[in-house]
Amino acid sequence: MGSATPTRITSDLGMDATADETQPLLLRFKSNTESTESGGVPIAGHHHQAYNTGSCDSAEFDPLGDLDNPLEWPTPFKWGIVTLLAIIAFTVCVPIIINFPFLFFSPIFLFLSRHLNPVPPRIGIGSGPERHPTVRSGPDQPKLPVPMDVMQCNVMRRHDELTGILVVEHLPASGWFPLRQTSGESCRVRLAVACVERAARDHLGARGGGGTAADRAAF
């Protein structure tokens, strides 16, 4: 933050009914001329207006140049941040772990492989690679959980999210807040259930049910 001349501070905050729609609603603007006449200092840069910084939430920068002002950061640095945020958004929304090569040694992978979906016993010798283990039931074999199919899980999750949007979005804005809030809490509970379920089918159901309420944040 710049320690030099701060911008003008006044106390008349509030929304201006005649404010330009391109300006922040919670900050009042005055032109350079008006700001200078009243003793204020206009902000250097692209804006030709001075911020009313009467709120403690407002930042004050040196009008002669301040490296803490994000608007004055170097353009490559700005786009580096944008690229980083885009990579984060992409990685989060990919339904698989992106560092796939390291997954072979991941404790998460080892745990899920051993506990969440036990490998069914092979029948005989030389039955081939067990890429897609199948459920084998019989009088001499224990009942095994159904393996989770990643595509089925993703499709079910997407469908439930879509259902959540179609159902919750059309509810009236007033009076239905408890339901929306309960929906969000249900999402968390179902995700927790999905984490502790040992059987793949239950994990899939809990995961899909959690997706129903996952879009509550959109409201």
Binding string, residues 19-58; x marks residues near other proteins by CB under 8 A: ---x----------------------xxx-----------
At residue 131, the 3 state secondary structure works out as coil
Residue pointed to by tokens 């879509």: 162
**Subset of residues 124 to 153 that bind other proteins, contact rule: CB under 8 A:** 130-132, 147-151
Nearest approach in angstroms of CB 137 to other proteins is 20
- Is residue 53 within 8 Å of residue 7, measured between CB atoms? yes
- CA distances 62 to 25, 58, 198, Å, are 23, 13, 59
- Residue 117 near other proteins by CB under 8 A: yes
State the angle between helix axes of 177-196 and 150-168 in degrees (0 to 180), rounded to the nearest 10: 170
- CA distances 208 to 153, 158, 165, 193, Å, are 7, 8, 14, 11
- Residue 2 near other proteins by CB under 8 A: no
Neighbours of 52 (CB within 10 A): 22
Identity of the residue, 70 or 121, whose beta carbon is nearer to other proteins in the bound complex: 70
Residue among 10, 55, 91, 141 that touches other proteins (CB under 8 A) = 91
- Residue 169 near other proteins by CB under 8 A: no
Identity of the residue, 166 or 196, whose beta carbon is nearer to other proteins in the bound complex: 196
Cα–Cα dist 133/216, whole Å? 36
Identity of the residue, 6 or 147, whose beta carbon is nearer to other proteins in the bound complex: 147
Q: For binding to other proteins (CB under 8 A), which residues are involved?
A: 22, 45-47, 70-71, 73, 78-79, 81-83, 85-97, 100, 103-104, 106-109, 111-113, 115, 117, 130-132, 147-151, 154-155, 191, 195-196, 217
